Amino acid sequence: MNRKKSSTLLDNAVNALASLPGVGQKTALRLALYMLRRDVEYTERFAAALLALRREVKYCRTCHNICEDEQCSICADPHRDRSIVCVVENIREVLAIENTGQFRGLYHVLGGILSPMDGIGPGDLQVDSLVQRVARENVQEVILALSATMEGDTTGFFIYRKLAHQPVNVTVIARGVSVGDEIEYADEITLGRAITSRTRFTCP
């Protein structure tokens, strides 16, 4: 007798949970049994929240961030600086940068990063819409906030080339030693970049 025979309902639920990234069969079983211990309303609220997200989500027609209307709350906010556009890979980076509280401009979500190994080319990303947006709106600065990886650098260089004929400043977020890191443990490439990108000392 295997587990399948003992309960199809449980098996279906475990397989559904185990299809999530990073969730194995054992964790999925633990989560399914947790749901059985909670009341029915818990699972109903849980399922409703996920279905609502997936069915009702829209993408902002300007920056491709997720939203509930035609335009996301950031693009619709009249207090944001519309002359600066920060280019990010995904929604997750929008949330991360918003949480810093250090940026008051707008975003442009590419929806991925150039990765020939995974079959992601320029056509899969929102690069053309960025170029049109920069030309159409009065964008003064495009900040590239992409991962400090080979793919991130490639994507950044590609966007830089695409924007080269437009009168816009293309900048890139600073790379250097992470706050709280000890120099001793910083890797050589990061440390080398931190030295060549040094800035004038200011009293905090």
The terminus-to-terminus CA distance of the chain in angstroms comes to 68
Q: Which helix (H) or strand (E) holds 37?
A: helix 25-37
Task: Supply φ then ψ for residue 133, to 5 degrees.
Answer: -65, -45
Q: How far is the CB of 87 from a copy of itself (least distance, A)?
A: 18
Count of chain residues binding a copy of itself (CB under 8 A): 59
Q: How far apart are CA 78 and CA 94, in angstroms?
A: 18
User: Which residue of 24, 63, 66, 148 would you call a contact of a copy of itself, by CB under 8 A?
Assistant: 66
Decide: residue 106, CB within 10 A, 0-12 exposed, 13-18 middle, 19+ buried.
buried
Answer whether 125's CB lies under 8 Å from 145's CB.
no
Tell me: does residue 95 bind a copy of itself (CB under 8 A).
yes
Contact between 8 and a copy of itself (CB under 8 A)? yes
Single out the residue of 52, 135, 148, 195 in contact with a copy of itself (rule: CB under 8 A).
52
3-state class (DSSP) for residue 115: strand
Judged by CB under 8 A, does residue 76 bind a copy of itself?
A: no
| 74 vs 134 by CB, closer to a copy of itself | 74
Residues lying near a copy of itself in the complex (CB under 8 A): 1-3, 5-10, 12-13, 15-17, 19-22, 27, 29-36, 40, 42-57, 65-68, 72-74, 77, 90-92, 94-95, 98-99
